Amino acid sequence: MAGQLTVDDQLLSYVRQMSLRDDDVLSDLRAETAGMPMLQAMLVLPEEAQLLALLVRVTGAADVLEVGTFTGYSSLCMARALPPDGRVVTCDINERWTRIAERYWRRAGVADRIALRTGDAARILDELAEQRGPGSFDLAFVDADKANYPRYYEQALALVRPGGLLVLDNTLFFGKVVDPAAQDPDTLAIRRLNALLRDDDRVDISMLAVADGLTLVHKKKP
């Protein structure tokens, strides 16, 4: 039985050559984000964003929730995968980043499919619960500040319908989850989240050792 591959730059380049469906809008957005000092690591990998789009399509999701917009790459990819009446509701606290996102959404022709909310994510999720009610989204993607991941998970789980899907990014967090010396708040929060997911009988899960760790969470039906 083959074990887990170590993905070096050469193998990653092959994966992208063989599977990545790219275009000028996406590559330009990646390039602009890469030019932001100390922030380019926050951008999802292109193959991860393509997977998100695929998940939107295969689940038939029409209402998508995103926690953490950044420069809008993942929301752009998911919006392209929506049915004609679909909508991505995304939130972020940083208007500098979301101004970049809105520019590329317009360029890609998907701005009308994306509703941006700016402010504290936990507050926005509470507002969505009040305004739309529980179970009002088909799919949720969480990729925001790590210290609040356990809270965002509970809020997003309530907002996703039974049978829906949550996708949690960075669940291996640069490999720090297995480093005993890593005791920073972000790593501790990711460890708490992973333990919560493991023991949560409300959901089915699969943690994937891709990118920085990606966990798929299926909300069970009653």
Query: Is residue 215 left, alpha or beta, with left meaning phi > 0 and alpha meaning psi from -120 to 50?
Result: beta
| Residue 124 counted as domain residue | yes
Percent of the chain with pLDDT over 90: 89
Which residues constitute the domain of residue 159? Answer: 9-219
pLDDT per position as a tens digit, 152-161: 999 999 999 9
Confidence check: pLDDT of 38 > 70: no
Q: 39: pLDDT confidence band, cut at 50, 70 and 90? A: confident
Neighbouring C-beta atoms of residue 41, cutoff 10 Å: 9
| Residue 103 counted as domain residue | yes
pLDDT per position as a tens digit, 88-144: 999 999 999 999 999 999 999 999 999 999 999 999 999 999 999 999 999 999 999
| Residue 63's CATH number | 3.40.50.150
pTM of the model: 0.95
| Residue 165 counted as domain residue | yes
| Residue 2 counted as domain residue | no
* Domains identified in the chain, total number: 1
Q: Is 43 helix (H, G, I), strand (E, B) or coil?
A: coil
| Residue 4 counted as domain residue | no
| Residue 164 counted as domain residue | yes
| Residue 202 counted as domain residue | yes
Residue partners of 164: CB distance under 8 A and separation at least 6: 59, 61, 135, 137, 138, 139, 140, 218, 219
| Residue 24 counted as domain residue | yes
Q: What is the pLDDT of residue 4?
A: 77
